[in-house]
Each structure stands twice: as structure tokens, then as C-alpha cells.
Structure 1
């Protein structure tokens, strides 16, 4: 097993597994951990110390086990890689891997899923290739660079009316008090999302230590881009968090899959068309844009490039016209 210790300004990692050992020194603890995970993987696979390019499928498995656990969205990456191992591209030898193989992959996937989903899969495979090229030196070029991507569909512009908010909350049994059931927890998360533009996973991960009611903010420890950020709270958001502030540990017990399923059932029962939980981010950002300047808004929701806010800002022409009077 791996032992990682700090020595001055560097970190030393040592691996002992199945009678084999290896050690190395790194500038950061994360580099040391990734190296140790990779060496352990190679020893378990029987490839440590042996020249072995293998297939692209071997590379995907190695990435899923060694790299994905330290990245945001690790669960999605690992599930997606496991699914893509059934695609013919996983059988291509690394020595023979070319852009053409990814073009054929793109065309196959476009017959099954949307262009946006295909682009997300290509982004993931691109990350695998970058690691193989820069860290593991198993590729001598980046085979996805220069690949023509499918055109992404237009961003969603689904808004949520107050009537729909009421219908969803009623369907989830919301009672304007501390949530007692999983359905009520989903309603609470839904209302918090409308006030803060937080993602479902970010809300489910919150606990008492993340909340500072005196300072009127809550802290997202790990966001989609890997950054920590502080979310300022409106008066309504403060009311919602007061309902759960006496809880130790996580505010909510419902899991992400269960929460998504309960929200979907509430939407169907209310006969509301084409509404997703993530649409709360569109709605919240559009509302917050009336109160905050663009830099404050970008900082609040974790967008490094303020221009990307336009994907979520969906004010109608009528709403904009009402502010011209």
C-alpha cells in the first residue's frame, strides 16, 4: 500500500504491493497520490516495469481508476467510461490510434445520443488522451486535436413560473417547515436552488459547517470546476436554511438519484411539461441578474468567464421592456 509523507517542501510517495516497491518525490501531495494510485494499478494489472501500450480501452480503465477519483464529476466519468468500453474504439491499439477512429466514434454516437452528449463524451476521451500524452507518455500525439465536433444545440431557455413552483412543492408535500420526508427534502432543495442558482449536487452536499447565517452565506466546498465558492443568501434563502440549521452533519439525507426521481414524479403528477431540476439555475440566474452586477453574479455562481452567464440568462423581451419605463 502507498505511504505518503511530507519532507520539507516536497512529498515522498512509496508503494509496496505484491512484493514490488517503488518511490518518488513530488512537489504536491496530489501529484504524489496520483502517482501512487497509478503504480498500484500497474502492479495489480501486472504491467509495472513492462513496456505495454495496450488498447485505448486499457487506457480508459486506467484513467477511471487512477485519475477520475480526484476529479469533479468522478462518478459520471467512471460510469461513462464503463459504458464506452463496449464501443469499438476501446479495441484500438494505442500505437494505431488516429483522429479517424474518433471521427468514426463520433458518427456512431450521433446515431444514438444528442450532439451535446457526444461532445461531452469526446471531452472526456480528450482528457484521457491528454493524460496518456503528458503524464504517462503512452501517446506521441493528441488524436482528438483537430477533430470536427458536432454543433451543440441551442441552450435551454426554460423558465419556471410561480404557479409551477407551487405545483411542484405541493406535489412534494412541502409545508414551509423543516423537511421531515425525502419528498419534502427535495422541495426544500428546489426552493434553495431558485434562490441561489446552486446545482442539485451542491445542495445535497451541504452540511452545518458550510453555513454562516451571521455572514449570510453558505460555502460550496467543491463545485463543478473544482473551486470552493461562497454563496450569498437572500432573506428567503436565510429563512430556508434556518429550517435545517439545527441538524448535525448533512442538511439532507436524500441521495441524488432519489432526489431526481422524486422531482420527476412530482413534475409528471402536476402535468408540467419539459421541466428539469437544473432549470432552476436558469430561473435563479435570470432573477439575480436584476439585483447584481455581472461580476458579482459570475462570482456567486462560479463562472470564471462572465460571458458564459448568457447561457443561463433568459429574461424575456417583455421583462426587459418593463424596466425601460
Structure 2
């Protein structure tokens, strides 16, 4: 059963039907309200109704924020994914309602993104968006087709295997030497104020360890013989 009430200049609609969730929506005129009721009730009668209210209410940015709290924080790579999500939330695509996401919208975002970063980075972002949407569909009750599956993925960038030359290593390390304070308390120009950067970079160069591997190192107990 549908009820249409006028509230000020708006018309509020409520649909209550046994076996279906309660629905409500506001329209600027009564004709639009009646048209919406007709479509929804017809879909309910035919058994094909899909509740799109959450998809129409939430933006991609909303999903990214919830995903960060409920999913990312339990991942091993939570720190890197946090930065990736923050970057996506600053992008205009984050303002799109989930119901408005389409293959066309994602393809336009992909092409714009490729002008800024590599194909590999774009693919990682697309993979993240796809997983966010799949989690929303399967676990959060947000009904939407995954638009990432509708578009072409850009080719992966060629891997890099170049190492720094000895001269480049020396110049890099020279810039990372700890800066010294002058008698007035100011730091000298050049160098770094963080004394741990220099040994960290030396360790990375000598061992070829990844950032995550270095940051996971812990002081251990010395074993006596």
C-alpha cells in the first residue's frame, strides 16, 4: 500500500507491502511521486523489485570510508591501502552516488587517471574500487552492478630493473646526511633532520628489502653461546 503526503512544497511517498522492506522517497511534485509508486509496485508484483535506496543514498566516498574501517584495517597492507583510499576520496569520482556509477563513468575516470599515473597504478586503484563495491553488494545490502567489470583494464607498465649507479648512490646519501644546528639554533641547509633516514636508506640499498620488510624489523634478544 502506498501513501503520498504533501510536506511543504515536497511530496513524501511511503510504500508498505508484506514481504518487502518499507520504502520512502520525496519528490518535487505529485505526478513524479505517483509514477515512482507505479514502477515500484509493478516490480514487487512481478517479483523483480530491487531495493536501490542505499545505492541512491551512499556515494563511492561513503563506501570507501566504511571499507577502510571495516576491511582495510585487518589487512597486512593496511597502511598502503589507507593512502590509496585517501587519494580516491579526494577524486571527484568519490562524490558519485553508487547508483550513478556506470561503465562510462569508470572509463572516463580510468582515462583521466592514466594521464597522471601508470597503467599498473590505475589497475590497482580499479581493483580496490571493484573489491569495495563487491563487499558492499554481498555484505552491506547495497544493490549495484559492479561497473569495473564493464570496462577494459589498461595494460600493465613494464617492470623496472635499473639500479642506482655508484655516483647516484653517493649523491643520494650525501643529501640524507643528518643536518646540523647552527649556534642560533637553526638547521643548516641540506641534509635531513631525521637521523634514522640515512641508515634506513643504506640498509635498503644493501639488502634490497621492501619498505614493509624494513618497517617490520624488530630488535631481538642476543643469543648467548
TM exceeds 0.5? yes
Contact 2:54 2:143 in 1 (8 A): no
Deviations 1:181-218 (A, max 9, x none): 96553232223223433113431342213x7778xxxx
Equivalenced residue count is 157
Aligned to 2:136: 132
Output the TM-score relative to the length of structure 2: 0.56
Instruction: Identify which of 117, 141, 146 aligns with 1:142.
Output: 146
Classify 1:204/1:87 alpha carbon distance in 2 versus 1 (closer, same or farther; 3 Å).
Answer: closer
In structure 2, the residue matched to 1:187 is 198
State yes or no: 1:100 paired with 2:104.
Answer: yes
Three-state SS of the structure 2 residue aligned to 1:106 is: helix
Equivalent-residue separation in structure 2 for 1:70 and 1:61 (angstroms): 14
- CA change 1:147–1:204 in 2 (3 A) is same
Query: Is 2:120 the partner of 1:116?
Result: yes
* Aligned equivalent of 2:76, options 68, 72, 81: 72
Deviation per residue, 1:18-38 (Å, 9 max, x gap): xxxxxxxxxxxxxxxxxxxxx
Contact 2:106 2:148 (C-alpha < 8 Å) held by counterparts: yes
Residues 271-314 of structure 1, C-alpha deviations (whole Å, 9 max, x = no match)? xxxxxxxxxxxxxxxxxxxxxxxxxxxxxxxxxxxxxxxxxxxx
SS of the residue corresponding to residue 128 of structure 2 reads: helix
Q: 1:189 to 1:58 in 2, by over 3 A?
A: same
User: Among residues 52, 55, 67, which one is paired with 2:54 in the alignment?
Assistant: 52
The answer as to whether partners of 2:98 and 2:144 remain within 8 angstroms in 1 is no
**Distance change >3 Å, CA 151–CA 208, structure 1 → 2:** same
TM-aligned CA deviation for residue 61 of structure 1: 1.8
Partner residue of 2:91 out of 71, 87, 93: 87
The CA distance in 2 between the partners of 1:134 and 1:213, in whole Å, is 50
State the 4+ residue runs in structure 1 displaced beyond 4 angstroms.
181-184, 211-214
CA contact (8 A) 1:94 1:139 kept: no
Shift of 1:107: 1.8
Segments of structure 1 that go 5 or more residues without pairing to the other structure are 1-50, 175-180, 215-325
**In structure 2, what is the Cα distance between the partners aligned to 1:159 and 1:207?**
27
Task: State the shift of 1:124 in Å.
Answer: 1.8
CA contact 1:102–1:144 (8 Å) conserved in 2: yes
Unpaired runs of 5+ in structure 2? 1-52, 179-191
Task: Write out per-residue CA displacement over residues 34-92 of structure 1, whole angstroms, 9 at most, x where no aligned residue.
Answer: xxxxxxxxxxxxxxxxx633222221221122222222343443343333334343333
Match of 1:159 in 2: 163
- Find the residue that maps to 1:144 and give its secondary structure: helix
